[in-house]
Amino acid sequence: MLAVKDLYVEYSGIRAVNGVTFSMDEGQFITLIGANGAGKSSIVKAITGLVKPKQGEIIFNDTNIEGRDSSVIIRQGISYCPEGRRIFATMTVEENLKIGAYLRKDKKKINDDLDKVYHYFPILKEKRNLPGGSLSGGQQQMLAVGRSLMSDPKLLLIDELTLGLAPIIIQDLAKILIELNQNGLAIILIEQNANVALKTANYGYVLETGNIILEDDTTELTDNDFIQKAYLGI
């Protein structure tokens, strides 16, 4: 479904991603874990067209999308839930969700997808007429995920799902992502919180200073001595 080959990202000559290669199949749930500044966001931004890679190929369903505009990439079926949520505080919850469908025209399908988002996140339905800014942090993250579902993606990229959220909310969100994945959505979860990431995704890549240093099933990574010491605090 997605193949990233030998990807380099630089900012004014300073290297952030240093020849990263990975791929995933349809319906997979993978995670990229790594410390602050490891290059996680730069990789997803390159996939979604928000930064232009210095070098590399990004193949999505047989099309090279490297360097294409974000709107083209979204239409191909990739959606991005950004770090920091970026919801619109003064717009209502429902208006925020509908923004996620801005490239689509079929009103009936958009409404079906709105119902689907409300099915996964009933609290958003309850609060649909309230301003986004009135939601709690966890609810805002649900709104951000819901908004990215409104483009009807085949692949969802989530950058820092859990940052600043209470454990109970994190558990809820993780459960919903697993459910979305079981219903066929491929997911890439970017996380500093390796504990959550390795419990939620099925396959993981460990990123350090722009390089993948380790990859494996998340169950194997969880048992790995180095990962336990460096990332899980065990």
87 CB-near residues (< 8 Å, 6+ apart): 96, 132, 133, 135, 140, 143, 144, 147
- Interacting residues with ligand ATP (CB under 6 A): 11, 16, 34, 36-42, 83, 192
Taking CB within 5 to 8 Å according to partner kind, which of ligand ATP, Mg ion, none is near residue 38? ligand ATP
Shortest distance, CB of residue 227 to ligand ATP, whole angstroms? 17
Cα dihedral sign, 52-53-59-63: positive
Shortest distance, CB of residue 112 to ligand ATP, whole angstroms? 34
Of the listed pieces 34-42, 130-138, 210-218, 224-232, which binds Mg ion according to CB under 5 A? 34-42
How many CA atoms are closer than 13 Å to the CA of 202, on its beta-carbon side? 12
Plot region of 37 (φ>0 → left; ψ -120 to 50 → alpha; else → beta): left
Taking CB within 5 to 8 Å according to partner kind, which of Mg ion, ligand ATP, none is near residue 16? ligand ATP
28 CB-near residues (< 8 Å, 6+ apart): 1, 186, 187, 202, 203
Of the listed pieces 14-22, 37-45, 74-82, 143-151, which binds Mg ion according to CB under 5 A? 37-45
Residue 41 in the binding site for Mg ion (CB under 5 A): yes
Give the binding-site size for Mg ion (rule: CB under 5 A). 2
Q: Which residues bind Mg ion (CB under 5 A)?
A: 40-41
